[in-house]
A and B are shown apart, each in its own frame.
Chain A
Amino acid sequence: MSALLEVDSVSVSFDGFKAINNLSFNIGAVELRAVIGPNGAGKTTFMDIVTGKTKPDAGRVLWGEDSRSLLKMNEAQIARAGVGRKFQRPTVFEDQSVSANLTMALKANRGPFGVLFWRPSATSAARVAELAEEVGLSEQIDRKAGELSHGQKQWLEIGMLLAQEPRLLLVDEPAAGMTLAEREQTTTLLRRLAETRAVVVVEHDMDFVRRLECKVTVLHQGSVLAEGSLDHVTRNPDVIEVYLGR
């Protein structure tokens, strides 16, 4: 299995503090992966590096069949290359309707002039309706995103990610603020998405991770502490000490 994303000995420090320390991480083109680790382990920083928000001090980040370096690309270029990201706290455009949020995320020409002359079509309208249906927001499609509940915003953001049709999906703590039923829906959705693409999920909630039934990577102090099935890593004494035993 060739890797879609290859993170190779990456380090980054903030004011001398090593947030990511010689981290290496691979993920295949069709794979579901959970990343766990205590607070401050560097999980969000890892996503920042992959998505171009933070430039590492050392290391390589390679992408796709032709191993392009993501470090030379800016956030927008990386997103267009097929990396989608869901933030820790829901970030939707609160001032705009659910359908406007989804329409913006739809895969289409992203240049200013391409956008200027873009016109909604029957296909695009149907796609937006379909996405809204998928994340359970059909009823709310004309409402402003700001009027949605916290959980609904999470879903809207997931809908926007789907609209982007990314090849790699980075999801930071999706279960936060969701009800039990919503969590179950989310795990089902993430597992289904991972049937056709790579999905990396950062999550604190162990039950949530268990339901994902996937390979788990444990981060600690900016590097990989253990990797394998959830049962495998939870038996690892190092992991128990730094994370589970607390």
Chain B
Amino acid sequence: MTRQPFILRNPSILIVLAVLAAFTVAVTLMSAAYGNGAIPTSMVKVLGKTLCLALAAVAMDLVWGYLGILSLGQMAFFALGGYMVGQWLMYARTETIVAASLAQNPIPATPLELQEAVANQIFGVVGSSDLPLVWTFAHSLTLQLILVVAVPGILALVFGWLAFRSRVNGVYLSILTQAMTLALALWLFQNDSGFRGNNGLSGLQNIPGLEGRDQATLSVWFLWASAAALAVFYVLAAWLVSGKFGSVIRAIRDDETRVRFLGYPVEGFKLVVFTLAAMITAIAGALYYPQAGIINPAELMPIASIYLAVWVAIGGRGRLYGAIIGAVVVSLLSSWFTGGRAPDIRLPGYVVHWVDWWQVALGLSFVLVTLFAPKGIAGIFDRLSGLRAPRRAAPRKQEVKA
């Protein structure tokens, strides 16, 4: 039996890839570094970061929309990815600076002295001068990149194993995921966590080894990398949900007891999807924070993960492209409304400042979507395409028995 490759069987994948490619080319041609400069570098960064958020939303959709676990701790994985890459960025850059200043000394510094000076520089703000254990691999980009997926992956694996094995479900599981990210955030807030407490990691926009490149160039490079990651993992996610695996995880979402009686090890499926999604989210975070320039424990507060869920709900969960639409539309609107550039609405006797009212509007639209468009924005696309082609599943005429 010959089957078309799955990409051809799912035209929506090609559409998403084409739109993504067109978007990336367009931004590049309007960037300061490679184009006419119509889009300022800060905006290129916003767009690049938005692609990372879209990737996190795709992973969230796998976990929530397809597997049915409303995880309210996804941004913990996102931030961990950022922290892992941030450690190398900060260490390597500090090392360059410190080495340059020590080179003034008549006696060349030993590697140990160099390391101490680096530690002093990085941890002076939290009153320490020792390199914490968790920075053991910070000198190596390769090792830290492995940690980007390994740390969130192992955290998800252990957390998932404990939670799924004891069959924690529904709202209890959501609360548990939220507790996980909150606990992690509170731990990171401590000065002796080894991650510089509430200062977090900063200067991440400076990429060691690429000092000769200006931010305008780097911002475009990161945009490309973010777009590439989104494309690759979108296709991976679409492949994952397309076949029998997708069938089984949606079945778990709808009735996991029944799936067990079919002989499927439900916990195993949940673990695979949850862990994979955590790793994808971490990669998104590792690309996001060098564009943001700074990461601190506030990024792990549960509210961030709740926003992610809201984006996916508004975009349309259970549709991968819905997750992208939701993340892009809502996060860009958010930064526009809260950026102070949205015109205030002057009502008689009251002025609606969007900076203050945007959250309320967002919350309201979430409620409205949940009530009136449970399939979100993607549901509108479904309905439009449903108008063009007659429903394949149209009920057939029943034979009339005399």
Contacts and interface: CB of A to CB of B under 8 A. Distances in A.
A91 B260 contact: no
A96 B242 CA distance: 12
A125 interface: yes
B113 interface: no
A1 interface: no
A120 B248 CA distance: 14
Interface stretch (B121-129, B220-228, B249-257, B283-291): B249-257
B243 interface: yes
Given A76-B266, A93-B250, A96-B250, A115 B244 contact: yes
Interface in B236-268: 240, 243-245, 247-248, 250-251, 254-255, 257-258, 260-266, 268
A97 B396 CA distance: 15
Nearest to A86: B261
Contact of A116 (B245, B251, B260, B266): B245
A80 B385 CA distance: 41
Nearest to B1: A122
Contacts of A142: 392-393
A104 interface: yes
A8 interface: no
Contacts of B263: 76-77, 79-80, 110, 164
Interface in A139-156: 139-140, 142-144, 147
A100 B247 contact: yes
Given A105-B262, A139-B396, A142-B392, A115 B254 contact: no
Interface in B385-402: 392-393, 395-396
B244 A91 contact: no
B187 interface: no
Interface in A67-101: 74-77, 79-80, 84-85, 87, 91, 93-97, 100
A245 interface: no
A91 B240 CA distance: 25
A51 B263 CA distance: 11
Interface in A106-163: 110-113, 115-116, 118-122, 125, 139-140, 142-144, 147, 160
Contact of A79 (B240, B248, B255, B261): B261
A103 interface: yes
Given A93-B255, A142-B393, A119 B262 contact: no
A75 B396 CA distance: 37
B243 A96 contact: no
A126 B107 CA distance: 80
Contact of A51 (B240, B251, B261, B271): B261
Residue of A93, A96, A164 with most partner-chain B CB within 10 A:
A93
A93 to B, nearest CB: 5
B243 A93 contact: no
A155 B247 CA distance: 20
Nearest to A84: B261
Contact of A120 (B1, B250, B251, B262): B1
B3 interface: yes
Contacts of A77: 263
Contacts of A95: 250, 254
Contacts of A96: 247, 250-251
A116 B261 contact: no
B168 interface: no
A112 B250 contact: no
Contacts of A97: 393
B332 interface: no
Contact of A104 (B240, B251, B257, B272): B251
Contacts of B395: 143, 147
Contacts of A76: 260-266
Contacts of B248: 104, 115
A119 B1 CA distance: 11
A110 B244 contact: no
A85 B1 CA distance: 32
Contact of B1 (A116, A121, A160): A121
Contacts of B266: 76
B61 to A, nearest CB: 15
A91 B268 CA distance: 22
Contacts of A120: 1, 3, 244
Nearest to A157: B258
Contacts of A104: 244, 247-248, 251, 262
Residue of B245, B262, B266 with most partner-chain A CB within 10 A:
B262
Interface string B353-395: 0000000000000000000000000000000000000001101
Interface string B71-113: 0000000000000000000000000000000000000000000
A116 B237 CA distance: 12
B264 A110 contact: yes
B269 interface: yes
12 contacts: A76-B261, A79-B263, A93-B258, A95-B250, A96-B250, A112-B268, A112-B271, A118-B243, A120-B3, A121-B1, A142-B393, A143-B393
Interface of B: 1, 3, 240, 243-245, 247-248, 250-251, 254-255, 257-258, 260-266, 268-269, 271-272, 392-393, 395-396
Question: Can you list the 9 inter-chain pairs with the closest CB atoms, starting with the nearest?
Answer: A79-B263, A75-B260, A80-B263, A112-B272, A122-B1, A116-B245, A93-B251, A91-B258, A143-B393
